[in-house]
A and B are shown apart, each in its own frame.
Chain A
Amino acid sequence: MNVRKLIFNNILYYRRPYLAVMVGVIVSTAVLTGALLVGDSVRGSLGRLTELRLGTTRWAMQSGDRFFRSALASDLSVELNHAVTPVLQLNGIGVNTLTGKRLQEVQVAGVDSTFAGLWDSQIVLPHKDQVVISTNLASKLELKVGDPFLIRLPRVELAPQNAPFVADEKPVASLRLTVSAIAGEKEMGRFSLKSNQRAPYNAFVSIDQLSSRVGLEGLANLLLVPASENHELSSEQLDEALKSAWQMPDAGIRTEQFEGSDLIQITTDRIFFDNQTVAAVLKAFPEAKPILTYLANTLASHDKETPYSFVSAVDNGILPAPLLPGEILVTNWLANDLGIRKGDSVTMTYFVMGPLRRLKEESFRFQVSGIIPLTSVPFGESMMPAFPGMSDAGQCNEWETGAPVNLNRIRDKDEAYWNKYKGTPKAFISMEDGKRLWDNPFGSVTSFRMSHTESSHPDIQTSRHPVIQSSSDPVIQSSLDSALMSTLQPSWYKLDFIPVWEQGQLAAANSTDFGGLFLSLSFFLIASSLLLTGMLFSLHAGTRISEAGVLAGLGFRRGLIQRILFSEALLVAIPGVILGSVVGILYNDLILFGLNTFWQDAVRTSMLEMEVNFSSIFIGAVSGFFLAAAVLYLSFRGQTKQMISSRIKGMEVSKPTPARWRHWTWLGTGTLLWVIAIILLAFLLSGRSTPDAGLFLTAGGLMMIGGISLVYAFLIWRAGKPSSGKQGMIAMVVRLGSAKRARSISAITLLALGTFTVVITGANRKTYDGSEQDRQSGTGGFLLWAETTMPLLYDLNTASGKSYFALEDEPLLQNVHFYQLHRLDGNDASCLNLNQVQQPMILGIPERNFDSLDAFKLVNSLPEVDPEHPWLSLSRELSPGVIPAFCDQSVITWGLLKETGDTLVYQDELGKELKVRLMGGLDNSIFQGHILVSDSLLKLHFPSISGTRIMLVDGPFANNIATAGRLEELFVDYGMLADPASKRLAEFNSVENTYLSIFMLLGAFGVLIGTIGFGIILWRNNLERSREFALYLAIGFRKKFIRTILITEYLLILATGMLLGITGALAGILPSLISPAYRMPGGFILLILSLIWISGAAWIVIPVQRLFRRNITRSLDD
């Protein structure tokens, strides 16, 4: 016989209670391990989704609304000796022409034969008039192979669509295609560059067909570089190759030589040169002369006027004589038309274009400095930039400009002029005046002129060609291009490789920590299973008092007795932990099943797969073991002392009458906690402090703990004050309960905690019934949130905007106001995206409107933010290149893992660093996932953002559904989706509500385990008290009476526990309760509370009934 054998014998002998202890350990370890595995599985699944969406792509160059040669892919491929795939990616609207079903936000990718290779896909890429669609698109539009499919695409221009005088044609391009294949998840069907677990709706067409259909022949806006078999390409290698391979057209810049002249013209596809490029051109060619050509609505003098004339602002050197500010040099054609001479004044009126084509007509008076023959106008018609819709118009009445043109004003002579001279300027002003009058966010230079023979650039000087006969002289062209390109950076034109695969994996690795989340969500379940484990072991240890006494009598030291018992428990815990780890895998599987199906609102994907990470199992098992060990140790540590001191008799020693100080201590503690809680509540409700949900919860928790302390104090008092006379049933019940006060208070605590958790969780479910009209609510009081696939270029509140979209006579829109928001595309940082994103989408908001509406509510802000007018703090840059921003606080904390005061780093349109400082956090709002900045600052840094695709609609709530429907009809070609703002908010809330549901479910399991523990306490109580009950029977009590006493005693414990939990929880949710907008899901909470009551009551009644089925009077024989 040795200690090991004794321990082994003991475990075998007491296998039943130890099996119960083991079950407790299994449950707690399984939940722990399972939660960690859920984290691994979600991370792993997101990593796999990254592979599915990118295939073997490692790097991507995405230029968005800028377009480069698709041949750049093959040029790069040669430079790198590595495959490079060009893609033309646009957003469109998909239509099943058989059913009429439409789908907005279809990601249309023009691809070539190299694309499918990125996925090792067997799919044959579409030929002309064919389309390969993703599974989700096929499913959504009910399409199958062979079906016709129509894609509507936005009009795409090389120039920014909101630049002055760029045509504003409605979306026109359509592709009528036949579905040739359906690409599955592993076959490029999930292709996307965005870190998001939600799959886009993809349509793949031939890049040639797509580019020619939208007028972008030979162009692309995306390059994909796959992984290398031999070695991974570095950023430096790619940059170097790009610098070698890129050409001027990739930057949208063209150099042209004039036939028969040594003059060179530099123009841009984007009409206006940005300032950065202007500086670079002047650096390469200091002698280059900038020109700004603009459309004047009217040139007038002496009551005569000439409509729609181009006027050029030029630097000295272009014209024979320099122009001073305020002077205008006119052609003889204009002089004749207006009847003016040198020294006369000419008034020029012209449009200044604001955001969303808000036009303002302005005028300026010039003095005629001279008259030149039309035939000697330098550069002639080439002075006019290639305005889309104008430069290719055959006649004036075919003009398509982004500004209103009154065709009635156009005279025959104007038509004749256009036919002969096109956009040849009719007048010239100084560059100084030109910049002052026509400067706009896109720039103030439309072209450069220079003589190559005067060029100071060494390459050009060495390649002198005295006579240049055409614009296609390759030597000169090449020299010019390389001279200019040496001063340009590809990144200024969004030609920049991004490690998309690495970023995707990083976003997945740093995604929402589901391990931590489920550990938190499972907290009550883990805690209750551990408590149950401890309770079971404690009860078991209690049955071995006499054994411990015998061992003590035989000279066993207390330490040895403790070691024996603890070793038994630990030896039982070890297989429990091992089994728990295995069960944890199943638990993980179960949770994933839930997340993929009925809890999908929390993750927005059904693609989560199990990933068993052994380090997590190890951590879970070790944590489970140590937690179990700690609980086991704590649960019997106190008992062994009693076990030994209670000696060998095996009889439980009557507890001595409790000392009065114990009663006073608990009474004092309970009272103090209640006083603190009430003061805290009073302070919070007095309005002297911002209501903080956390503090209310603290107050509620204090009330619950205080209540438990007071009940315990009462039980101690009652135990120390035996009744001298006959007692009523309740008094007797309380007296009996006070005798076993430790057990009673354990049960009460367990039930109170469970009830508290369940009620708090249930009551915190987000409901917004009736609050959506409140400006301070998450909807901002707005009626609708609408999004379009195609950008809207006009302000819908202006007459011109209403006219353009034919909204004037819409009865539903009479009292409606639109807030159109510019958006910088980026990743979705809302709770709908599990990945951690670095650069969320930015929305430009009208901060002054929001301020006057007092819309939305900040829950956190920096001291610099004026609490009275928080939105106005977004108006100004904090310092050059640093702009202020707001964002939903939940996104700041959980999505971005940042705090207010932190900054996000972007690149502005010119490739410069732009810092966005988070100045404040909004309460849950419809803006979740977006960074909010001032619209003017957004436009300042991203002037090319053309039109808006998001708008808030303000109007009468009575018609919200009808208004949404009508707007969708009116903007059907733009792919509008309009939803009540409250619905959008509800979608975000559904994530939180789903988490709360999970928490509640797991909490309910925890409470269930708690009630099992409660039942075990009662069962044990019944066993220990069987002699007492036998005695009652012996002295003539009826069984029914004893049953009633027992059930009343236990129900009192159950009711007290639940009542304390409910009281604390109600205090915790007080701010919601007193809010008129809040509607507590009372039915739901009542249902849960009823289940707890029923479960608890079952654990009370069943053991009591069973107790009296056996002959308990035999207890008296022992």
Chain B
Amino acid sequence: MLAELHQVSKNFDHPVLKEISLAIQQGDSIAIVGPSGSGKSTLLNILGTLDRPSAGRVVLNGETVDMLNDNQLATIRNHFIGFVFQMHYLLPQLTLHENILLPLLPEKDKATIKAAEERASRLIKRVGLTHLIHHLPGELSVGECQRAAVVRALVNKPGLLLADEPTGSLDETNAGELGDLLAELNREEQMGMVVVTHSMDLAGKMKKICRLHMGRLEKIEKP
């Protein structure tokens, strides 16, 4: 099992998530849909260790993360999780290639770095960005940047890819292409994938769809 949520709850001023349990296996792709403010991003943040639950347990790659400190969580994020955000958040001061290799920065093992660089080259080619790798993000389209952000998320060969509204800032064509790319990569790389989205088109490309409603997660059958 790649990731598990056991009875996870999260309260801010009011309960946002209520006793949510979820299990993600290798090759899974799960879309989480729901209205704004329903707690989708919160759930993703808890799954991605960017936030801690008020109650419940999070298990990633067989390890319970509740008691881990910030540095241990950062290591998990770096090695096991890949993030794709609504905005690409490529650093404007770095070229596309440098942005993609950014997750390798904390890594010290040269062999791992070398393998990741080779993987990055393959993925860059796979998403069709080879000719743009020395460009700065400001010189590219939003769609190209978002594809680069996907490669950046995958460069460390994560077990779990988390995407928060990845097509939210894209036009219909680009959104469609990115959805296809994520689905294809899920198949090719066999990582677990959780996508938070409002787009039913994108959700439809995932293997499972869950809806977050009133703080609880409900599975929806795909049409």
Interfacial residues, chain A to chain B (CB-CB below 8 A): 1-3, 5-6, 9-10, 12-14, 546-547, 549-560, 647-648, 650
Q: Given A9-B93, A10-B93, answer yes or no on A554-B102 (Cβ-Cβ < 8 Å).
A: yes
B220 within 8 A of A: no
Q: Is the beta-carbon distance between B48 and A553 smaller than 8 angstroms?
A: yes
Partner of A552, one of B74, B79, B98, B104: B74
Q: Is the beta-carbon distance between B89 and A550 smaller than 8 angstroms?
A: yes
In the complex, what distance in Å separates the CA atom of A6 from the CA atom of B103? 12
B36 within 8 A of A: no
Q: Is the beta-carbon distance between B106 and A556 smaller than 8 angstroms?
A: yes
Say how far B45's CB is from chain A's closest CB, in angstroms.
7
Q: Is the beta-carbon distance between A557 and B45 smaller than 8 angstroms?
A: no
Residue ID in chain A nearest B74 by CB atoms: A557
Say how far A703's CB is from chain B's closest CB, in angstroms.
39
B contact residues around A2 at 8 Å (CB):
105
B173 within 8 A of A: no
A contact residues around B98 at 8 Å (CB):
1, 5-6, 9
Say how far B115's CB is from chain A's closest CB, in angstroms.
15
Q: Is the beta-carbon distance between A648 and B85 smaller than 8 angstroms?
A: yes
Say how far B124's CB is from chain A's closest CB, in angstroms.
14
| A546-B89, A554-B77 given; 11 more Cβ-contact pairs under 8 Å | A6-B102, A9-B93, A550-B91, A555-B75, A555-B78, A555-B81, A557-B70, A557-B74, A557-B106, A558-B74, A560-B105
Say how far B117's CB is from chain A's closest CB, in angstroms.
10
Q: Is the beta-carbon distance between B50 and A1 smaller than 8 angstroms?
A: no
Q: What are 6 A-B contacts defined by CB distance under 8 Å?
A: A1-B105, A14-B93, A552-B50, A557-B74, A647-B50, A648-B89
Say how far B101's CB is from chain A's closest CB, in angstroms.
5
Say how far B73's CB is from chain A's closest CB, in angstroms.
9
Partner of A3, one of B87, B89, B93, B105: B105
Residue ID in chain B nearest A657 by CB atoms: B13
Residues 53 to 106 of chain B near chain A (Cβ within 8 Å): 70-71, 74-79, 81, 83, 85, 87, 89, 91-94, 97-98, 101-106
Q: Is the beta-carbon distance between A547 and B91 smaller than 8 angstroms?
A: yes
B152 within 8 A of A: yes
Residue ID in chain A nearest B94 by CB atoms: A9
In the complex, what distance in Å separates the CA atom of A648 from the CA atom of B149? 13
Among A9, A555, A557, A560, chain B packs the most CB atoms within 10 A around the CB of: A555
Q: Given A555-B106, A558-B70, answer yes or no on A13-B77 (Cβ-Cβ < 8 Å).
A: no
Residue ID in chain A nearest B80 by CB atoms: A555
Q: Is the beta-carbon distance between A650 and B101 smaller than 8 angstroms?
A: no
In the complex, what distance in Å separates the CA atom of A6 from the CA atom of B92? 12
Among A549, A550, A556, A558, chain B packs the most CB atoms within 10 A around the CB of: A550
A contact residues around B78 at 8 Å (CB):
554-556
Q: Is the beta-carbon distance between A553 and B77 smaller than 8 angstroms?
A: yes
A contact residues around B105 at 8 Å (CB):
1-3, 6, 556, 560
Q: Is the beta-carbon distance between A13 and B70 smaller than 8 angstroms?
A: no
B contact residues around A556 at 8 Å (CB):
74, 78, 105-106
Partner of A12, one of B74, B93, B103: B93
Say how far B25's CB is from chain A's closest CB, in angstroms.
22
A contact residues around B50 at 8 Å (CB):
552-553, 647-648
B contact residues around A546 at 8 Å (CB):
89
Say how far A640's CB is from chain B's closest CB, in angstroms.
12
B contact residues around A557 at 8 Å (CB):
70-71, 74-75, 106
Partner of B104, one of A1, A553, A559: A1
B contact residues around A554 at 8 Å (CB):
77-78, 83, 102-103, 152
Partner of B94, one of A6, A549, A650: A6
Residue ID in chain B nearest A3 by CB atoms: B105
In the complex, what distance in Å separates the CA atom of A551 from the CA atom of B93? 14
Residue ID in chain B nearest A12 by CB atoms: B93
A contact residues around B91 at 8 Å (CB):
547, 550
A contact residues around B74 at 8 Å (CB):
552, 555-558
Among A6, A546, A553, chain B packs the most CB atoms within 10 A around the CB of: A553
B contact residues around A10 at 8 Å (CB):
93
Q: Is the beta-carbon distance between A553 and B102 smaller than 8 angstroms?
A: no
Among A1, A3, A554, A559, chain B packs the most CB atoms within 10 A around the CB of: A554
In the complex, what distance in Å separates the CA atom of A12 from the CA atom of B93? 8
In the complex, what distance in Å separates the CA atom of A555 from the CA atom of B106? 8
Say how far B40's CB is from chain A's closest CB, in angstroms.
13
In the complex, what distance in Å separates the CA atom of A554 from the CA atom of B103? 6
In the complex, what distance in Å separates the CA atom of A559 from the CA atom of B45? 20
Q: Is the beta-carbon distance between B83 and A553 smaller than 8 angstroms?
A: yes
Partner of B102, one of A1, A12, A558, A648: A1
Say how far A108's CB is from chain B's closest CB, in angstroms.
76
Q: Is the beta-carbon distance between B45 and A647 smaller than 8 angstroms?
A: yes
In the complex, what distance in Å separates the CA atom of A150 from the CA atom of B6? 110
Say how far A569's CB is from chain B's closest CB, in angstroms.
16
Residue ID in chain B nearest A555 by CB atoms: B78
Say how far A643's CB is from chain B's closest CB, in angstroms.
13
B contact residues around A558 at 8 Å (CB):
70-71, 74
In the complex, what distance in Å separates the CA atom of A2 from the CA atom of B94? 12
A contact residues around B87 at 8 Å (CB):
650
In the complex, what distance in Å separates the CA atom of A3 from the CA atom of B77? 18
Q: Is the beta-carbon distance between A555 and B94 smaller than 8 angstroms?
A: no
Say how far A565's CB is from chain B's closest CB, in angstroms.
13
Residue ID in chain B nearest A8 by CB atoms: B93
In order of increasing CB-CB distance, the 7 nearest A-B pairs are A555-B78, A13-B93, A555-B77, A557-B74, A553-B83, A550-B89, A554-B103
Among A13, A546, A648, chain B packs the most CB atoms within 10 A around the CB of: A648
In the complex, what distance in Å separates the CA atom of A12 from the CA atom of B92? 11
Residue ID in chain A nearest B97 by CB atoms: A1
Residue ID in chain A nearest B78 by CB atoms: A555
Say how far B156's CB is from chain A's closest CB, in angstroms.
8
Say how far A655's CB is from chain B's closest CB, in angstroms.
14
In the complex, what distance in Å separates the CA atom of A551 from the CA atom of B71? 13
Residue ID in chain A nearest B45 by CB atoms: A647
A contact residues around B94 at 8 Å (CB):
1, 6, 9
Q: Is the beta-carbon distance between A555 and B45 smaller than 8 angstroms?
A: no
A contact residues around B97 at 8 Å (CB):
1
A contact residues around B76 at 8 Å (CB):
555
Binary per-residue interface labels of chain B (115-155) against chain A in the complex, 1 for a CB within 8 Å, 0 otherwise? 00000000000000000000000000000000000001000
Partner of A555, one of B79, B89, B93: B79
B contact residues around A647 at 8 Å (CB):
45, 50-51
Residue ID in chain B nearest A557 by CB atoms: B74
In the complex, what distance in Å separates the CA atom of A12 from the CA atom of B95? 13
Say how far A615's CB is from chain B's closest CB, in angstroms.
39
Among A2, A10, A557, chain B packs the most CB atoms within 10 A around the CB of: A557
Residue ID in chain B nearest A553 by CB atoms: B83
In the complex, what distance in Å separates the CA atom of A551 from the CA atom of B104? 11
A contact residues around B77 at 8 Å (CB):
552-555
In the complex, what distance in Å separates the CA atom of A552 from the CA atom of B85? 13
A contact residues around B103 at 8 Å (CB):
554-555
In the complex, what distance in Å separates the CA atom of A647 from the CA atom of B74? 13
A contact residues around B156 at 8 Å (CB):
555
B contact residues around A560 at 8 Å (CB):
105-106
Residue ID in chain B nearest A13 by CB atoms: B93
In the complex, what distance in Å separates the CA atom of A579 from the CA atom of B87? 40
B contact residues around A551 at 8 Å (CB):
102
In the complex, what distance in Å separates the CA atom of A14 from the CA atom of B50? 27
A contact residues around B104 at 8 Å (CB):
1
In the complex, what distance in Å separates the CA atom of A553 from the CA atom of B79? 11
B contact residues around A552 at 8 Å (CB):
50, 74, 77
Say how far A652's CB is from chain B's closest CB, in angstroms.
15
Residue ID in chain A nearest B164 by CB atoms: A648
Say how far B68's CB is from chain A's closest CB, in angstroms.
12
A contact residues around B75 at 8 Å (CB):
555, 557
Residue ID in chain B nearest A546 by CB atoms: B89
In the complex, what distance in Å separates the CA atom of A463 from the CA atom of B76? 113
In the complex, what distance in Å separates the CA atom of A549 from the CA atom of B70? 14
In the complex, what distance in Å separates the CA atom of A144 from the CA atom of B104? 83
Say how far A687's CB is from chain B's closest CB, in angstroms.
58
Residue ID in chain A nearest B117 by CB atoms: A1
A contact residues around B92 at 8 Å (CB):
13
